[in-house]
C-alpha cells in the first residue's frame, strides 16, 4: 500500500518496546495467547529445575542454563513483537489525548446565545453548544445552526479547511477540530468518552483490542496443535522407559517448545495491530477488526459513479433545443433554470449558456429533492425546471405534447448512448430541449476493475443516471454491473439481494439517506465529510473522504488475512526440520541406529537441541518486519495467490529451518557452547 510508513525500528520505539516486552510477562496478559502462556509456563518449570540442579549439583548446568535462557527469550520476543506493533500507535494516541484534555464547551442556556463554559467531559447527548472562531469543537455532533469552515487536521492530518453547515450532508462535526471562521451551534450526539476521538485513541493504541473472529478460530487451532504436541511429547518418557532408557526433562521441554506453533502465536496479535495501523495510516478508521477482516472477504463492491468512476463533476457540453424551439430561447431558458443551481453541473450550464440577465428579484428557487429530482426557478408564473428526462416527464405527466416527448426521447437516447447525461428543460408543461452533460471516466479505472475481477470481486456502479447513460459509462469504465436511476431504497434492496445469495457487500456513502445501506452492507465506509448518521452507520470512516479507497481497503483486509495464513503455514512447516534436529539427538541413546535420521549432520545431540531452540527463538524477531508490514500483496485470482504463497511460506518453511539450524549448529559448535 502507498500509505506513508515510518521506519520500523527507530531507537526510542525499540527501547519502549523492550521495556513493554518485560512488562507483558504478567501472566494475566500472557494468557490471551495460549501458546505463549504455555511457553512461559514451561520456561518457569525449566528455571525451577535449573535452580534445583545448581543447588543439589549434577546435571548439565551450562547446557540447561542456555536452554532456559532461550526459552525466556522466546517469550520475550513474542511480547516484543506485540509491543512494537502497539508502540507505533501510541505516539499518535498521545497527541490526540492532549487535544482532548484541553476541550472546553460553551454550553447554551435557553434559546438565546447565553452560555456557560463547562468541561467537555460534562456534556450530555442533546446539549447544544456554541462554537466560535478559534474554538475547538468540544464534542461530536451535528450543526443545528450556522455555517463555518473547520480545520480537521487534528483528525485527518489534512490542513485545508472544510465547510460545515446546518442541514444537508455536511452537518457532522468532530470533537477536537477547530472552527477557523464564523460560528456554529452544535447539538451533541456522542456522550463523553464515546466520541470519535475516544474511539480513535483506543484504536490507534490497540488497547482494548478485541480478538477478531478469524483470530479466535486461529487461536483455537494453535491451541489444538499445542495439545497434540503435548500428547506426542508427553508420552515419550513412557516409550523411552519401554526401551530401558530415559529422556531428560529439559530436552523434552526443548522438543515441546520448538514443536508448538510459537512463531505464529508470538506474531499473531502484532499482525492484527499492524493491520489496523496500516489502515489508520491510510487515513481510514475501522470501528472493529471484524470489519477489516470482512473487507478481505468482499464479493461485491458498490461504487458511486460520481467521484469514484468518473471525475467528480459532469460538464455541460451541448444545448440541444427540440424542433420548433428557437436556439436562443432554449439557451436562455436553460440558463435561467440553472441559475439557482449551485452544483458544479448547474454552474457549467450557466457558463456554457454565456452572458445573460442576473437572477430576477421575484424569482424563487425550485429546490432539488430526491423525490421530484428536478430543480429550477419560479419567476412569477413561469416555472422553468431542468432535471433527468424521466423526472421532468413525470412532473409534466399527461399534459406533455406526445410529439415533443418523442423528439426529446430521440435526442436524449442519442446522448445517453454516447455516455453523456441528458437533462431535460421545460417551462411549465412545455418541453424545450435537452442539455448534454458529459462524464469523464477516470484514467486507469478500467485496469483497476480488471484487477478486482481477477480477484473475484464484482463491481456494481451506482448512479442516478438513466439506464442508457449508465450502460455506456459502465462499458467505458469496465464495471461489471450497474444500478441506474438508483434511489437509496434501490441501493438497500440490491445489498440485501446480494447478501441473500451469500455474498459480502462493501459500499461507501456520505448522506443521511445512505445510512440504512451503510448499516446493511458488510463493509460500509462513511465519508468523513458526511453526516453524523452516515458516520454512525458505517463500520469504517474514511478521513480523506475518497470513495476510491474502498478498493484499497479490500486489499488491506486481504493482506491482513494473508499475512496471518502465511506465517501459520511457515510456522507449521518449520516443525519438520526441528524433528530431524531433535529426535535423533534424543533417541540416539536408546537406539544408536537412529543416528541416521540426523540428516543435517549436527555436531552433537546437545548442540542439535540448542540450535533448534535458538532457531525457534530467533525466527520471531526475524519475522517481525514481515508481520508489521504484511506480506507482499498483488491482486490476483485465489489459485495464483495460493500457489505463490505456498511456494514461499510452505515450501520455504520446510527448507529454511534446515539451513538455519545447520548454521546455528556450526556457530554453537564453533563457540563450544555445547
Partner 1 sequence: MTLAGWGMILLFTALFIALAKPAGDWMFTLYKGEAMPLGRVLGPLEQGCYRLSGVDPAREQGWVGYAAALMCFNLAGIGLLFAILKLQAVLPFNPQHFGGIDNWLAFNTAVSFVTNTNWQNYGGESTLSNFSQMAGLTVQNFLSAATGIAVAFAIIRGFARASAQGIGNFWADITRVTLYLLLPASIVLALVYVLLGVPQTLDASVGATTLEGARQSIALGPVASQLAIKMLGTNGGGFFNANSAHPFENPSALSNYIQMLSIFVLGAGLTLTFGKAVGNVKQGWSLLAAMVLLVLAGVTFAYWAEAAGNPIHQALGIAGGNMEGKEVRFGIAATVLFAVVTTATSCGAVIGMHDSLMPLAGLVPMFNMQLGELVIGGVGSGLYAVLIYAILAVFIAGLMVGRTPEYVGKKIESREMKLTVIAIVIPPLCILGLAALASVVGPGLAGPLAKGPHGFSEILYAYSSAAANNGSAFGGLSGNTPFYNATLAIGMFFGRFGVILPVLGIAGGLAVKRRVPPGPGSFPTTGPLWIGLLAAIILIVGGLTFLPTLALGPIADQFQVAAGTLN
Report the catalytic residues.
Answer: 304
Closer by beta carbon to partner 1, 292 or else 527: 292
Shortest distance (Å) from residue 81 CB to partner 1: 18
Q: Decide if residue 476 touches partner 1 (CB under 8 A).
A: no
β-strands 363-366, 374-379: how paired?
antiparallel
Shortest distance (Å) from residue 84 CB to partner 1: 22
Per CB under 8 A, the list member of 395, 549, 564, 662 interacting with partner 1 is: 564
Residues contacting residue 590 through CB under 8 Å, at least 6 positions apart: 240, 243, 244, 245
Total residue count of the chain as it appears in this document: 674
Q: What residues numbered 307-366 form the site for partner 1, per CB under 8 A?
A: none
Query: Position of cell 497527541?
Result: 95
Closer by beta carbon to partner 1, 17 or else 562: 562
Per CB under 8 A, the list member of 146, 516, 650, 652 interacting with partner 1 is: 650
Closer by beta carbon to partner 1, 405 or else 597: 597
Selected range binding partner 1 among 13-21, 44-52, 386-394, 573-581, rule: CB under 8 A: 573-581
Residues contacting residue 161 through CB under 8 Å, at least 6 positions apart: 149, 150, 151, 152, 180, 181
Q: Is 315 helix (H, G, I), strand (E, B) or coil?
A: strand
Per CB under 8 A, the list member of 559, 607, 616, 669 interacting with partner 1 is: 559
Selected range binding partner 1 among 10-18, 39-47, 225-233, 340-348, rule: CB under 8 A: 225-233
β-strands 363-366, 315-321: how paired?
unpaired
Q: Decide if residue 56 touches partner 1 (CB under 8 A).
A: no
Closer by beta carbon to partner 1, 457 or else 668: 457
523 forms beta bridges with: 506
| CA separation, residue 391 to residues 260, 338, 344, 425, 573 (Å) | 67, 16, 20, 11, 63
Give φ, ψ of 344 to 5 degrees: -55, -35
Q: Is 381 helix (H, G, I), strand (E, B) or coil?
A: coil
Shortest distance (Å) from residue 539 CB to partner 1: 16
Q: What residues numbered 248-267 form the site for partner 1, per CB under 8 A?
A: 259
Q: How far apart are CA 173 and CA 180, in angstroms?
A: 13
Contacts with partner 1: how many residues (CB under 8 A)?
72
| CA separation, residue 137 to residues 130, 150, 307, 516, 532 (Å) | 9, 9, 29, 27, 15
Q: What residues numbered 594-623 form the site for partner 1, per CB under 8 A?
A: 594, 596-597
Per CB under 8 A, the list member of 61, 228, 364, 663 interacting with partner 1 is: 228
Q: How far apart are CA 409 and CA 427, in angstroms?
A: 17
Per CB under 8 A, the list member of 239, 356, 359, 410 interacting with partner 1 is: 239
Shortest distance (Å) from residue 294 CB to partner 1: 8
Q: Decide if residue 389 touches partner 1 (CB under 8 A).
A: no
Q: What residues numbered 276-295 form the site for partner 1, per CB under 8 A?
A: 293
β-strands 162-165, 147-151: how paired?
antiparallel
Shortest distance (Å) from residue 276 CB to partner 1: 16
Closer by beta carbon to partner 1, 360 or else 637: 637
CA 265 to chain centre: 23
Burial (CB < 10 A; 0-12, 13-18, 19+), residue 666, is middle
Closer by beta carbon to partner 1, 3 or else 642: 642
DSSP 477-534: HT-SEEE-S--HHHHHHHHHHHHHTT--EEEEE-SGGGHHHHHHSSEEEEETTS-HHH
Q: Decide if residue 502 touches partner 1 (CB under 8 A).
A: yes
Q: Decide if residue 233 touches partner 1 (CB under 8 A).
A: yes
Per CB under 8 A, the list member of 65, 393, 519, 642 interacting with partner 1 is: 642
Q: How far apart are CA 659 and CA 229, in angstroms?
A: 24
Shortest distance (Å) from residue 106 CB to partner 1: 48
Q: Decide if residue 297 touches partner 1 (CB under 8 A).
A: yes
Closer by beta carbon to partner 1, 83 or else 566: 566
Shortest distance (Å) from residue 296 CB to partner 1: 5
Q: Decide if residue 235 touches partner 1 (CB under 8 A).
A: yes
Per CB under 8 A, the list member of 503, 546, 548, 589 interacting with partner 1 is: 503
Shortest distance (Å) from residue 313 CB to partner 1: 33
Q: Decide if residue 232 touches partner 1 (CB under 8 A).
A: yes
Per CB under 8 A, the list member of 205, 439, 575, 665 interacting with partner 1 is: 575
Q: Decide if residue 637 touches partner 1 (CB under 8 A).
A: yes
Question: DSSP state, 649?
Answer: I
- The answer to whether 136 and 103 are in contact (CB under 8 A) is yes
Closer by beta carbon to partner 1, 464 or else 584: 584
Closer by beta carbon to partner 1, 112 or else 501: 501
Shortest distance (Å) from residue 255 CB to partner 1: 8
Selected range binding partner 1 among 83-91, 139-147, 221-229, 333-341, rule: CB under 8 A: 221-229
| CA separation, residue 430 to residues 272, 338, 373 (Å) | 62, 17, 18
Q: Decide if residue 632 touches partner 1 (CB under 8 A).
A: no
Q: What residues numbered 577-596 form the site for partner 1, per CB under 8 A?
A: 579, 583, 587, 590-591, 593-594, 596
Side-chain half-sphere exposure of 48, counting CA atoms within 13 A: 7
Q: What residues numbered 69-98 form the site for partner 1, per CB under 8 A?
A: none
Query: Position of cell 458516520?
Result: 535
Per CB under 8 A, the list member of 286, 526, 562, 613 interacting with partner 1 is: 562
Q: How far apart are CA 265 and CA 260, in angstroms?
A: 9
Q: Decide if residue 639 touches partner 1 (CB under 8 A).
A: yes
Closer by beta carbon to partner 1, 53 or else 299: 299
Residues contacting residue 665 through CB under 8 Å, at least 6 positions apart: 581, 600, 602, 603, 607, 608, 611
Selected range binding partner 1 among 241-249, 302-310, 406-414, 460-468, rule: CB under 8 A: 241-249
Q: What residues numbered 417-456 form the site for partner 1, per CB under 8 A?
A: 453-456
Strands (E) in 428-560, as ranges, are 430-438, 458-462, 481-483, 505-509, 523-527, 540-542
278: left (phi over 0), alpha (psi -120 to 50) or beta: alpha
Q: How far apart are CA 90 and CA 110, in angstroms?
A: 41
Closer by beta carbon to partner 1, 86 or else 575: 575
| CA separation, residue 247 to residues 234, 241, 577, 585, 587 (Å) | 11, 9, 20, 10, 8
Shortest distance (Å) from residue 598 CB to partner 1: 12
Shortest distance (Å) from residue 553 CB to partner 1: 13
CA 145 to chain centre: 33
Q: How far apart are CA 423 and CA 433, in angstroms?
A: 8
Selected range binding partner 1 among 33-41, 85-93, 469-477, 635-643, rule: CB under 8 A: 635-643
Shortest distance (Å) from residue 589 CB to partner 1: 12
| Rg, the chain, Cα only | 33
Per CB under 8 A, the list member of 37, 70, 196, 229 interacting with partner 1 is: 229
Q: Decide if residue 565 touches partner 1 (CB under 8 A).
A: yes
Amino acid at each position: 500500500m502507498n500509505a506513508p510508513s515510518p521506519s520500523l525500528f527507530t531507537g526510542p520505539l525499540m527501547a519502549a518496546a523492550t521495556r513493554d516486552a518485560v512488562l507483558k510477562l504478567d501472566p494475566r496478559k500472557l494468557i490471551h495467547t495460549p501458546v505463549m502462556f504455555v511457553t512461559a509456563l514451561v520456561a518457569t518449570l525449566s528455571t525451577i529445575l535449573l535452580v534445583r540442579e545448581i543447588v543439589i549439583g549434577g546435571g548439565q548446568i551450562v547446557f540447561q542454563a542456555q536452554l532456559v535462557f532461550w526459552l525466556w527469550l522466546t517469550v520475550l520476543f513474542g511480547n516484543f513483537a506485540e509491543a512494537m506493533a502497539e508502540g507505533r500507535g501510541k505516539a499518535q494516541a498521545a497527541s490526540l489525548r492532549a487535544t482532548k484534555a484541553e476541550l472546553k464547551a460553551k454550553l447554551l442556556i435557553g434559546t438565546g446565545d447565553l452560555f456557560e463554559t463547562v468541561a467537555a467531559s460534562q456534556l450530555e447527548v442533546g446539549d447544544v453548544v456554541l462554537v466560535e472562531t478559534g474554538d475547538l469543537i468540544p464534542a461530536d455532533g451535528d450543526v443545528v445552526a450556522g455555517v463555518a469552515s473547520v480545520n480537521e487536521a487534528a483528525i485527518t492530518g489534512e490542513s485545508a479547511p472544510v465547510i460545515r453547515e446546518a442541514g444537508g450532508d455536511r452537518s457532522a462535526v468532530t470533537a477536537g477540530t477547530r472552527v477557523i471562521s464564523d460560528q456554529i451551534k452544535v447539538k451533541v450526539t456522542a456522550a463523553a468518552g464515546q466520541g470519535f476521538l475516544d474511539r480513535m485513541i483506543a484504536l490507534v493504541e490497540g488497547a482494548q483490542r478485541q480478538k477478531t473472529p478469524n483470530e479466535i478460530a486461529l487461536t483455537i487451532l494453535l491451541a489444538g496443535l499445542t495439545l497434540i504436541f503435548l500428547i506426542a511429547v508427553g508420552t515419550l518418557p513412557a516409550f523411552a522407559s519401554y526401551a530401558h532408557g530415559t529422556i531428560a526433562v529439559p530436552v523434552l521441554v526443548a522438543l515441546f517448545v520448538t514443536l508448538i506453533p510459537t512463531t505464529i502465536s508470538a506474531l499473531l496479535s502484532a499482525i492484527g495491530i499492524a493491520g489496523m495501523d496500516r489502515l489508520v495510516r491510510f487515513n481510514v478508521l475501522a470501528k472493529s477488526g471484524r470489519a477489516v477482516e470482512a473487507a478481505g472477504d468482499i464479493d461485491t463492491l458498490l461504487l458511486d459513479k460520481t467521484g469514484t468512476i468518473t471525475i467528480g463533476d459532469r460538464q455541460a457540453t451541448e444545448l440541444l433545443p427540440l424542433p420548433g424551439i428557437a436556439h436562443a430561447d432554449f439557451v436562455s431558458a436553460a440558463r435561467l433554470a440553472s441559475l439557482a443551481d449551485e452544483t458544479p453541473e448547474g454552474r457549467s450550464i450557466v457558463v456554457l449558456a454565456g452572458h445573460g440577465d442576473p437572477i430576477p428579484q421575484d424569482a424563487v428557487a425550485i429546490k432539488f429533492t430526491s423525490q421530484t429530482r428536478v430543480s429550477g426557478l419560479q419567476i412569477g408564473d413561469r416555472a422553468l425546471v431542468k432535471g433527468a428526462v424521466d423526472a421532468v416527464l413525470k412532473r409534466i405527466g399527461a399534459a406533455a405534447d406526445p410529439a415533443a416527448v418523442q423528439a426529446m426521447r430521440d435526442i436524449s437516447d442519442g446522448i445517453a448512448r454516447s455516455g453523456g447525461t441528458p437533462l431535460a428543460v421545460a417551462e411549465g408543461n412545455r418541453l424545450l430541449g435537452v442539455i448534454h452533460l458529459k462524464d469523464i471516466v477516470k484514467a486507469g479505472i478500467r485496469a483497476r476493475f480488471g484487477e478486482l475481477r481477477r480477484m473475484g470481486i464484482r463491481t456494481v456502479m451506482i448512479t442516478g443516471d438513466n439506464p442508457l447513460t449508465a450502460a455506456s459509462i459502465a462499458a467505458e469504465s469496465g464495471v461489471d454491473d450497474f444500478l441506474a436511476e438508483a434511489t437509496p431504497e434501490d441501493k438497500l434492496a440490491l445489498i440485501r439481494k446480494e447478501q441473500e445469495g451469500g455474498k459480502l457487500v462493501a459500499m461507501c456513502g456520505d448522506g443521511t439517506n445512505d445510512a440504512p445501506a451503510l448499516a446493511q452492507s458488510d463493509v460500509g465506509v462513511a465519508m468523513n465529510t458526511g453526516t453524523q448518521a452516515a458516520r454512525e452507520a458505517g463500520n469504517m470512516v474514511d478521513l480523506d473522504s475518497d470513495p476510491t479507497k474502498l478498493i484499497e481497503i479490500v486489499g488491506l483486509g486481504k493482506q491482513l488475512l494473508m499475512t496471518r495464513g502465511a506465517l501459520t503455514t511457515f510456522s507449521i512447516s518449520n516443525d519438520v526440520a526441528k524433528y530431524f534436529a531433535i529426535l535423533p539427538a534424543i533417541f540416539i541413546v536408546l537406539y544408536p541406529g537412529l543416528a541416521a535420521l540426523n540428516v543435517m549432520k549436527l555436531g552433537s545431540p546437545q548442540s542439535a537441541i540448542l540450535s533448534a531452540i535458538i532457531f525457534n527463538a530467533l525466527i520471531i524477531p526475524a519475522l517481525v518486519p514481515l508481520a508489521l508490514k504484511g506480506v507482499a500483496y498483488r491482486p490476483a485470482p485465489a489459485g495464483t495467490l495460493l500457489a505463490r504463497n505456498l511456494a514461499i511460506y510452505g515450501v520455504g518453511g520446510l527448507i529454511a529451518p534446515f539451513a538455519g539450524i545447520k548454521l546455528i549448529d556450526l556457530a554453537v559448535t564453533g563457540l563450544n557452547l555445547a
